[in-house]
Structure 1
Amino acid sequence: MKQFIMATFFVATAAVAFGQQKDRKSPHVTAEGKGIKVVYGQPSKKGREIFGKLEPFGKVWRTGADEATEITFDKDVTFGGQKVKKGTYTLFSIPDAKTWTVILNAKLGQWGAYDYEKVKDQDVVSVKVPREELKTPVEKLTFTLPGNAVVFEWDDTKVSVPVK
């Protein structure tokens, strides 16, 4: 009986895991740098106009695809000039043509930004940073961690948040 229960549990767990993978539309990747890790769904441009169209200006975005992007700091940092304790946070952003708002939120395990309004009271920091226009579009959303910043690029946009 114990073996039957364990087998049933295993099959149910595998089915749930498979179902979640099936709902994903983009590959999930990890960017790691000195004391920082970002886990995100990596959407592709696929010829689409991204910012201001697919991702509207002034509306909160999960800063990735599928599950909301998560960022982990292995020690206390200064993120965009604001103190943040070590830990894992959900990373959201609000695109704009000139200045982006980048948000760290304490609520983990979110799917997209659909419930952001319900959890925005759990924002840890919100920083405004300039948008840099890229001359050559980037096909896939890409995070890099050069050591002194969290940088993400997609389409014709580059956003960089200083980290110390």
Structure 2
Amino acid sequence: MKQRVLIGIGIGLLIIIAGLTYLRSATKKHSPAAIAEYHLSGADITVNYCQPYKKGRLVFGDETSGALQPYGKYWRVGANEATLFSTNKNLLINDQYLKAGKYSVYAYPGKDSWQIVFSSDFDRWGVTQPDPKDDVVKTNVLASNHAPLQEQFTVRFDTIDSANVNMVLHWDETEVTIPMTVQD
């Protein structure tokens, strides 16, 4: 009897694990994983994120307009898992200190400016908003709503000089630039 129960439990766990694995891979088909990297002057900055598509939808806008991501509401900056930001050097993010390490990045988009947040709570899945007590840096940056149309969400780094770089978030016709300075 005990053996049958253990076999049943084992089969049940196997089915659950297989289902979760399938769900995760099926989700990533619609918003594939991507990596943005910056390597210069000994600094290694990496952003691991997933890239949702516009698919004819209104991406950013007022909640009443049916926007995929309403202004003023939490957004995980991508899809699926939390967007992971890692750096081996201390940084100034728009003049705010960020210690070398791993963080999640999330945002509160607005029409003309966004609040960008770096949180020490980086091991999350889904749309759950992190606890504000884990926020390490909060900064406001300007948003451009006249960028060339970008169907798939992207993150890139634009090098300014050996110590300064911009992390750029681009989706639909919205582009947000986050200035960073590498500290020695």
TM-score of the two chains, using structure 2 as the length reference = 0.77
Confirm or deny: 8 A CA contact 1:36 1:145 kept in the other structure. Answer: no
Q: 1:27: which partner in 2?
A: 32
2:4 is matched with: none
Gaps of 5+ in 1: 1-7
| Alignment match, 2:64 | none
What's the counterpart of residue 166 of structure 2? 149
Of 73, 96, 99, the match for 1:59: 73
Q: Deviations over 1:73-114 (max 9, x none)?
A: 111111111010001100001000011000000012112332
1:17 Cα offset (Å): 4.2
Letter in 2 for 1:32: E
1:127 & 1:135 partners in 2: Cα distance?
22
What's the secondary structure of 1:67's corresponding residue? coil
Q: Describe the SS at the equivalent of 2:173.
A: strand
| 2:123 aligned counterpart, secondary structure | coil
1:81-100 map, 5 Å: 81-100=95-114
CA distance in 2, matches of 1:59, 1:33: 29
Secondary structure of the residue that 1:140 maps to in structure 2?
strand
Paired residues of 1:26 and 1:41 also in contact (CA < 8 A):
yes
Q: Which residue of 2 aligns with 1:126?
A: 138
Given the superposition, is the C-alpha separation of residues 135 and 88 from structure 1 closer, same or farther in structure 2, using an over 3 Å criterion?
A: closer
Change (3 A) 1:51 1:72: same
Amino acid at match of 2:68: L
Q: Distance in 2 between matches of 1:135 and 1:23?
A: 28
**Does 1 or 2 have the higher relative contact order (CA < 8 Å, sep 6+)?**
1
Distance 1:127 1:114 in 2: 21
Unaligned runs of 5+ in 2: 1-9, 62-66, 160-164
- Could you tell me the percent identity over the aligned residues? 32
Larger Rg belongs to: 2
Shift of 1:136: 2.5
Query: Contact between 2:147 and 2:174, CA under 8 Å: does it hold in 1?
Result: no
Q: Deviations over 1:9-51 (max 9, x none)?
A: xx96x73544432343310010111221000010011111000
Aligned CA-pair RMSD: 1.9
How many pairs are equivalent? 153
